[in-house]
Amino acid sequence: MRIAIGSDHAGFSLKKELIFWLEKNDLDIHDFGTYSEASVDYPDYAHAVSEAVESGEYEFGVLICGTGLGVSITANKHQGIRAALCWQGEIARLSRVHNDANIICFPGRFIESDEAIKMLEIFLKTEFEGGRHLRRVNKIPV
């Protein structure tokens, strides 16, 4: 499984924790930045991760900013991207089961790393249910 990850400065600390967990679990990741807590513009990283997932080079993406809203809004501008802002495990699960989300977005200023790791694990292990949900996902313009 190939995973693209990116964050702005507000998500940098959480991103480091998630990268550590992903690498510990032998997942193939690419960090699209940012690489410090210096102020940057979140769309630059959201676009890079979204393009990587959109192209099919990466199966899933992970994006983090202060609220998670900016990166999720930006990512969802890309065709074929279904970015889900998650703050609870059940939302992460349902984003995959019902929406076939391919990018998970986190509010770096509002969740702890252990919560984010649990959600990421759920997200990556959960399969899309299809069926009536596929009909609904297919109604999303691409």
8-24 confidence digits (pLDDT tens): 999 999 999 999 999 99
Six token digits for residue 83: 């970015």
Catalytic annotation, residues: 65, 98
35-92 confidence digits (pLDDT tens): 999 999 999 999 999 999 999 999 999 999 999 999 999 999 999 999 999 999 999 9
- Is there a contact between 93 and 124 (Cβ–Cβ < 8 Å)? no
pTM, rounded to two decimals? 0.97
Determine the pLDDT at residue 141: 77
DSSP state letter for 66:
S
DSSP state letter for 36:
S
Going along the chain from its start, the domains and CATH numbers come out as 2-138 (3.40.1400.10)
Q: How many CB atoms lie within 10 A of CB 36?
A: 9
What distance in Å separates the CA atoms of residue 37 and residue 29, rounded to the nearest whole number? Answer: 20
